[in-house]
Amino acid sequence: MTMSTTPTGPQVPPVPAGAPQAGALSAIPTPGGTDEPEVPRYAPQWLRSREPADAAARAHDLLDPLRIRLADRPGRSTDLVVHDLGCGTGSMGRWLAPLLDGSQHWILHDRDPYLLHFATVEAPRAAADGSRVTVTTQRGDIGRLTPDVLTGASLVTASALLDVLTADEIDTLAAAVVGAGCPALLTLSVVGRVELSPGHPVDEEIGDAFNAHQHRGDLLGPDAVGVACAAFEGLGASVLAQPSPWRLGPDEAELTKEWLRGWFGAAVEQRPDLEARADTYLRDRLAACAAGELRVVVHHSDVLVLPRATGGAG
């Protein structure tokens, strides 16, 4: 896995204000350099707008078993070394670092230098007990992660990542984490269930089309959590899973509007025959949202992986 490392983050300009909104729902293909593959870009605006909902949704029940494992890790007198895979703008670190005691060093992985820049600038500086938190970045393809990249890791984290991986990439991730002998906290993977209230006759059809879109190519989409749990368990790790739903009401109206447009857009891209009926559906749903009448539950799952300790830093 070829990566470049920089202690301060790449110095790159922000994404233009008019850039399309994207995130876990869709990627904006952006050419890299002449010697680089195309890099999927996620607009920082979308990632930032979803951050409060992500923080509220993550399964806090997984934190105590994680803390116990970290307290018992070999080398616990040294800094906690956390690899955040597909870090985006760094929301996982901003949520988790202040919930863990002790000095921490976060290594932020992403293919997109823009996102690495934002993640570095806005990185947390202090742990729960006031200890120092430091950050470096590694740019590279998570699909080619190898155990040597995680040498010395105490913890691996990711958010909204599993459902955009293939089965082969999840096998690669599982082998790397288990090979490093460190726990992994993998949060906010979609599981293919959405509840909208009040209901609408077209909800189920849009949901089914969106789920089919999440499976495009070889992506696992809503099947990712089950596949990942089986992969880790097959390598001897213990796995704990907890629901982590977004619960969006009138106070989250702007995020709900963004989510609706992305959910709808992916569904219609998958099934263009829906468009004639779905345009009216989207207008109705956005109007209900603006009036404070719409509530949405987007179901996700969080997974804590506890491999057998290897005697290293994990």
Residue 185 within a domain: yes
Number of domains in the chain: 1
pLDDT in tens, the chain (314 residues): 333 333 333 222 232 222 222 233 323 233 333 344 443 456 778 888 899 999 999 999 999 999 999 998 876 668 999 999 999 999 999 999 999 999 999 999 999 999 999 999 999 999 999 999 999 999 987 777 888 899 999 999 999 999 999 999 999 999 999 999 999 999 999 999 999 999 999 999 999 999 999 999 999 999 999 999 999 999 999 999 999 999 999 999 999 999 999 999 999 999 999 988 888 999 999 999 999 999 999 999 999 999 986 644 44
Which pLDDT belongs to residue 39?
Answer: 39
Q: Pick from 141, 180, 194, 134: which is nearest to 164 by CA?
A: 141
d(CA 74, CA 217): 41
Residue 103 within a domain: yes
Which pLDDT belongs to residue 23?
Answer: 30
Name the β-bridge partners of 80: 104
Q: Pick from 263, 250, 307, 54: which is nearest to 160 by CA?
A: 54
| Sequence-distant contacts of 133-136: CB under 8 A, at least 24 apart | 133/93, 133/97, 133/103, 133/104, 133/105, 133/106, 134/79, 134/104, 134/105, 134/106, 135/9, 135/90, 135/93, 135/105, 135/106, 135/107, 135/108, 136/5, 136/6, 136/7, 136/105, 136/106, 136/107, 136/108
Residue 208 within a domain: no
Which pLDDT belongs to residue 312?
Answer: 45
Which pLDDT belongs to residue 66?
Answer: 98
Residue 104 within a domain: yes
Could you list the residue range(s) of the whole structural domain that residue 31 is in? 4-12+25-191+219-247+299-306
Instruction: Measure CA of the first residue to CA of the last residue in the chain; give whole Å.
Output: 20
Residue 201 within a domain: no
CA distances from 12 to 15, 85, 274 (A): 9, 20, 40
CATH number of the domain residue 236 falls in: 3.40.50.150
Residue 19 within a domain: no
Residues of the chain by 3-state class (helix, strand, coil), percent to 5: 40, 25, 35
Residue 237 within a domain: yes
Residue 66 within a domain: yes
Taking a C-beta distance cutoff of 8 angstroms, is the pair 152, 313 a contact?
A: yes
d(CA 57, CA 24): 15
Which pLDDT belongs to residue 22?
Answer: 29
